[in-house]
Amino acid sequence: MMRIFTIAAVLTLVANNARAEDPIVGNWKTELGDTAAIASCGGGYCITLRSGKHAGKQIGTFHGRDGEYTGKITDPDANKTYDGSLTVSGNALKMKGCVLKVVCESQTWPRM
């Protein structure tokens, strides 16, 4: 009987952890059609390209929670890094990168 309760407790913990995952975690489609994976790393979140000519390259590190994040984003073609912010709303991730907080560009990536 104790074993059934232990199994039930473990399953409950696993289910709660799956629901607690931050909305930024997952696979996103970039404007160029590549897959970008966002996963937990180093107390924040890392963006790594999974497809395209820069597959395997980490292009961002962000901190935050509940759909609002700040950090650094790298343009892999120019190999330049910018201050950035991300917001997640449903299945859309809006990314904004800025130079000196004056000149900014935005992209929206859908969840895959």
Q: Tell me which of 20 and 94 has the higher pLDDT.
A: 94
pLDDT at 61 over 50: yes
Class of domain 24-110: mainly beta
pLDDT at 80 over 90: yes
Domain edges within the chain = 24-110
pLDDT category at 5 given cuts 50, 70, 90 is: very low
The pLDDT score that the predictor gives to residue 20 is: 56
- Decide: 29 and 49 in contact? Cβ < 8 Å: no
Give per-residue pLDDT as tens, 11-36: 444 434 444 578 999 999 999 999 99
Alpha carbon distances (Å) from 31 to 34, 53, 89, 97, 107? 7, 14, 17, 14, 7
Mean pLDDT to the nearest integer, 65-91: 95
- In the chain, pLDDT over 90 holds for what percent of residues? 75
The pTM of the full predicted model, rounded to 2 decimals, is 0.79
Average pLDDT, the chain: 86
